[in-house]
């Protein structure tokens, strides 16, 4: 029908980068900071319940999960910035590759972080 609903390939590829923090204030700070630095096109955060092993014990507590949309080329700068800003001793920072995406959205992600490396 002419309407492109998804695209596959390098040109329409982006990453969803995830991390968690303990407080909403930290989530808001990291989300707005990454956007202000143009390290991500957008960021979302939500409260979650986490269960994990830490320092020999099992911990179950509330956290905030953050999701950042960025380009492949922008990942290193985003990770470096998150490590410098993150309140955790050992932050979980990892990326999931997007296999399919609405082409105009993927292009917007790429355009939004295109200058991330040169603005720092």
The residue segments making up the domain with residue 79 are 15-98
β-pair partners for 21: 64
- Comparing CA positions, the residue from 100, 78, 99 lying closest to residue 18 is 78
With 0-12 CB in 10 A as exposed, 13-18 as middle and 19+ as buried, what is 110? buried
Q: Which residues of the chain have pLDDT under 70?
A: 1-12, 115-120
Burial of 85 per CB tally in 10 Å (0-12, 13-18, 19+) = middle
Please report the pLDDT score of residue 119 as a whole number: 46
50/23 Cα distance (integer angstroms): 13
pTM, 2 dp? 0.86
Let me know: does 53 contact 44? Beta carbons within 8 Å.
no
- pLDDT given for residue 105 in this prediction: 92
Task: Note whether 87 and 32 are within 8 A (CB).
Answer: no
Tell me, yes or no, whether 10 lies in a domain. no
Residue 77 host element (H or E): helix 75-85
pLDDT of residue 51: 97
Confidence at residue 117, expressed as pLDDT on a 0 to 100 scale: 52
89: in domain: yes
Domain count, the chain: 1
CATH for 40: 3.30.70.120
- pLDDT, residue 1, reads 44
Q: What is the pLDDT of residue 99?
A: 86
Asked whether residue 42 is domain-assigned, the answer is yes
In this predicted structure, what is the pLDDT of residue 13?
Answer: 80
Q: Quick check: is 113 in a domain?
A: no
70-73-77 Cα angle (round to 5): 75
Q: Determine the pLDDT at residue 88.
A: 97
């Amino acid at each position: 029908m002419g309407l492109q609903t998804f695209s596959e390939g390098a040109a329409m590829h982006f990453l969803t980068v995830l991390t968690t923090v303990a407080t909403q204030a930290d989530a808001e700070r990291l989300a707005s900071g990454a956007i202000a630095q143009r390290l991500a096109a957008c960021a979302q955060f939500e409260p979650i319940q986490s269960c994990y092993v830490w320092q020999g014990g099992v911990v179950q507590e509330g956290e905030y999960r953050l999701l950042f949309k960025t380009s492949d080329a922008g990942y290193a700068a985003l990770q470096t910035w998150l490590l410098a800003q993150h309140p955790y001793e050992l932050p979980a920072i990892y990326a999931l590759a997007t296999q399919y995406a609405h082409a105009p959205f993927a292009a917007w992600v790429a355009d939004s972080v295109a200058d991330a490396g040169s603005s720092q």
